[in-house]
Structure 1
């Protein structure tokens, strides 16, 4: 049953829905506790990056698209180098889980191209990137970044200083990006995904919104769907 690409994509959607609900639930629980302690924190999701990007939506989307194109080129270079290193060390550079899914999708495209490509586009290009950016950049990176600045201020540091901001960013970006890359469970693509995640963290911090990061991620993933369509 799990060899069926439609079932696999459906399972991804279900997992992502649960992940979003848990993320929002934990965020609201944290806000509730903070308000009980005297904070004026609100329940709006702006703190998780659901907001208007600096420069507006069109500018943010355009920047995200360009970053996504650059990420595709960068991933080809990094992925190729990763494969060479793994093979030189005697390890397999194959991504078996991804190859199984992609192989199943190619077969589905050959049988029913409209429904297969439409479903793949919705899940891989639209839904997946939006959820992953919301969780990894909006919640995990954003939360750790603000937490670092808060602790620095509590210890007497200047919250607005560039050093504190840089330290908080680096720590939050490295940790959240490591988790993001590790959860994809592929050694050969992990370095490229880690680099992509760090860039998306910087993009989120720069624009104050998840929209550019979502567009960049969607652009990156769209080439996977394009490759499936061309090879089917």
Structure 2
């Protein structure tokens, strides 16, 4: 791992830990606890992204991965689209498996993020765009890329995906993180471009926000209508 990648990891860890200082400071300035949490996340994520970009660019010769080769722009564009469907398919299969083995859907981490978006809609930009960029740089470009120098694809993707789930404090849904982590890693290897898994990750998070926040009320209403319709149809068949 190059020294620049070590700095990326350090910045990411500092970003994750910075809330222990930043949130109390904002709280002392008469922001509410929730406002302090949202505002500090927005500040820390944005600053981390700026630092990441300064560290990564320009690309240096020594950073080139021996097993990753950039494909053509057309090929990358194609997989930018196909990758979105691949990631959703991987996530769907993982959710089905978790359901079959008795794991309840949903997570506290997701609920906490969605509540922050409802309180401050601009936070959706952090969740849908900035977060995925940071995570793909850290977990695919840096961690997966480093593991992939020494190990095969399967082990490298598995290790990076497990760390990915640990960072989100969502061990119960490690299968989902592993599945999407494999999909993101595959897209990175397939195209040699970190932008492709970033776009897939952005699409996945954006879809979750649209479904669970923007159209949440309409979806609940539709579900209630479907339940009522089932009751009516059920009555006809009694």
Q: TM-score range by the shorter chain?
A: 0.5 to 0.7
2:215 counterpart of 1:230: yes
Task: Tell me which stretches of 4 or more aligned residues in structure 1 moved more than 3 Å.
Answer: 15-25, 42-48
Q: Given the superposition, is the C-alpha separation of residues 215 and 94 from structure 1 closer, same or farther in structure 2, using an over 3 Å criterion?
A: closer
Q: Name the counterpart of 2:34.
A: 3
Q: Greater CA radius of gyration, 1 or 2? A: 2
Change (3 A) 1:7 1:61: farther
Whether 1:66 aligns to 2:78 is no
Structure 1 residues 177, 97: closer, same or farther in 2, change over 3 A? Answer: closer
Secondary structure class of the residue paired with 1:54: coil
Counterparts of 1:32-181 in structure 2, within 5 Å, are 43=60, 47=64, 53-56=70-73, 59-87=75-103, 94-108=106-120, 116=121, 118-120=122-124, 122-146=125-149, 148=150, 167-181=151-165
TM-score when normalising by structure 1 = 0.63
Say how many residue pairs are matched: 182
- Verify: 1:184 aligned to 2:164, yes or no: no
CA shift digits 1:146-174 (9 cap, x unpaired): 2x1xxxxxxxxxxxxxxxxxx53222222
Partner of 1:155: none
Change (3 A) 1:2 1:94: farther
User: Contact 1:141/1:176 (CA < 8 Å) preserved in 2?
Assistant: yes
Q: Confirm or deny: 8 A CA contact 1:137 1:204 kept in the other structure.
A: yes
RMSD: 3.5
Between the aligned partners of 1:9 and 1:137, the Cα distance in structure 2 is 27
Q: Unaligned regions of 5+ residues in structure 1, if any?
A: 29-41, 109-115, 149-166
Q: Distance in 2 between matches of 1:176 and 1:15?
A: 21
Distance in 1 between the 2:172 and 2:105 partners? 6
1:14-64 deviations in Å (ceiling 9; x for gaps): 157448848986x99xxxxxxxxxxxxx8469637xx994120x5424412
The corresponding residue for 1:200 is: 184
Instruction: Measure how far apart 1:133 and its partner are.
Output: 0.8
Query: Any gaps of 5 or more consecutive residues in structure 2?
Result: 1-31, 218-238
- Contact 1:125-1:222 at 8 Å conserved across structures: yes
Change (3 A) 1:13 1:224: farther
Q: CA deviation at 1:78?
A: 1.8
Q: Which has the higher contact order (CA 8 A, sep 6+)?
A: 1
8 Å Cα contact 1:204/1:212 also seen in 2: yes
User: Deviation of residue 65 (structure 1)?
Assistant: 3.0
**Mapped contact 1:95–1:186 kept (Cα < 8 A):** yes
